[in-house]
Amino acid sequence: MIINLSPQRREDTLTIFKVGDILTINGETFDLSPIQEGDTLPASAISSPWFLNKVERIGGELELTLIFPNPPNFSQEQAFPVPLVNIPDGFVRLPQPLPEPKSLASGDETGVSQQ
């Protein structure tokens, strides 16, 4: 399976769990196993806002594109994701954001703690 990610600056999150040709995306399950070699399923035929483009099977490999929400602290890996290939079953590892900025300590607007 090849999952292409199309980044968008959004507040929601994406979780993907894979078992064979079955994907569970944010708790909703999609069985893609009926797609045979050379078949193309348009995204409009899938009842999900996450599928951005067609799903097809080429050379025995399913390929699809999903919307990939990016938080305010998105990383370069999230902004320019590489295709996910040879994905093992289980939770799909997605590019992670940059660390959250540290909050200001006890009301000190300079971020320097006072002793």
Q: CA-to-CA distance for 56 and 37, rounded, in angstroms?
A: 8
When comparing pLDDT for 35 and 111, which is higher?
A: 35
Determine contact, residues 69/14, Cβ cutoff 8 Å. yes
pLDDT by residue (tens digit) across 73-86?
999 999 999 999 99
Which secondary structure element, helix H or strand E, spans residue 68, and what is its range?
strand 61-70
In this prediction, residue 104 carries a pLDDT of 52
